[in-house]
Amino acid sequence: MIPANIDDYRLLAKKRLPKYLFEYIDGGAFSETTLRNNTADLQKIALRQRVLRDISSVDTSCQLFGQDWKLPVVLAPVGIAGLNARRGEVLAAQAAEEKGVPFCLSTVSACSIEEVRNGVQNPIWFQLYMIKDRGFMSAMLERAKAQGTDTLLFTVDMPVPSTRYRDIRSGLSGGSMFRRQSARFIQSAMSPAWAWDVGVMGRPHTLGNIAPVLGDNAGIDEFWAWLNQNFDASVTWKTLEMIRANWKGKLIIKGILDPEDAKEAAKLGADAVIVSNHGGRQLDGALSSIQALPAIADAVQGDIKILMDSGVRSGLDIVRAIALGADAVMIGRPWVYGLAAAKKKGVLDVLNILENEMRVAMALAGCTNLAAVNKSILA
């Protein structure tokens, strides 16, 4: 199959990856109602088609935090994304740089921030959780600063891990260690291309940024144990004030679904919020991100930047989100599907697909730049 859209890359990723990795990327919390609504609610938004306008030149560029980007798209942080292809996060960061969009590395990446930074020309964004090990947090912030990172995403919607049934069934989590490891071994053996690329040629296998804590020989089971033990359910806005005081760069609060929380983020001194339900992976039954976006945009009234993630699967979705108040969108699953299917080229292909779809949607709605994309283009 020659992939034509994001769904095609999803199918290619499913064919290539062992089941436990694909289900981890693709799944959501509990019954996955919010996961489904994220995409369905975006697709329900109709655009107004306009005709006989000069659309011979369409400009998709945007500016975020004083820097020009070719698309209003950010590659979102995705945990252990680097396991989907050999040195995967490095490849994704390189693709983002070539395309002229930001790349954000997860705290729980497979490749360390130093490795990823060494693979690109310019500093990357970095995402951090509030975890109990404050020493690790402080050290991680210093490592990010040392690599020239100026933009920090602070994820606030994961004070406790949610339940993801697909991960239990696939052997990624839950059950005895023997059953988990046996399931993962069998699934890996059934995916020989992935096993050779990542399992054999992708050595050394470490746990990226948390390898200094767990050691180089730790595996996925130790990774999940550490993560589950270190989520901090006591985090409050007061805690974030400490982060804001110690981080002089741009601060983005990720995981906002309520207008009052968006106002609190602005009051704190955040530079942006990300309207997000964690891709439907936390509170199942929560609002889809696109449903939450308009009220949040009205609440902050342009005081801070607004990004949105969760459910974006096409360039039309990007246009819809910007029309409803987002300054840019973040994509997680789409770029990981591309990475899993075709490595760096797959990530570039995904970005090119989104750009082409976005250009067509803007042109047929009569918009030649992002400033013209607003609620007036919605039916």
In the annotated binding site for FMN, the residues are 77-79, 106, 127, 155, 254, 276, 309-313, 332-333
SS3 344: helix
As a whole number of Å, the end-to-end CA separation of the chain is 35
Region at 166 (left for phi over 0; alpha for psi -120 to 50; beta for the rest): alpha
Contact 264, 224 (CB under 8 A): no
Contact 313, 290 (CB under 8 A): no
| Strand 151-155 versus strand 67-69 pairing type | unpaired
Give the ranges where the chain is alpha helix by DSSP (H). Answer: 6-16, 19-26, 33-43, 88-99, 113-118, 134-146, 165-170, 177-189, 192-194, 211-214, 220-230, 237-246, 259-268, 289-300, 315-323, 333-364
Distance CA 14, CA 16 (A): 6
Q: Any idea what DSSP says for residue 234?
A: T
- Say if residue 59 is exposed, middle or buried (CB neighbours under 10 Å; 0-12, 13-18, 19+): middle
**What's the sign of the alpha-carbon dihedral 180, 20, 24, 201?**
positive
Q: What is the number of other CB atoms lying within 10 angstroms of the CB of residue 100?
A: 13
Tokens representing 289 are 């991100």
Q: Point out the annotated binding site.
A: 24, 77-79, 106, 127, 129, 155, 164, 254, 276, 278, 281, 309-313, 332-333
Measuring CA to CA, which residue among 322, 288, 320 is closest to residue 307?
Answer: 322
Which positions are catalytic?
278
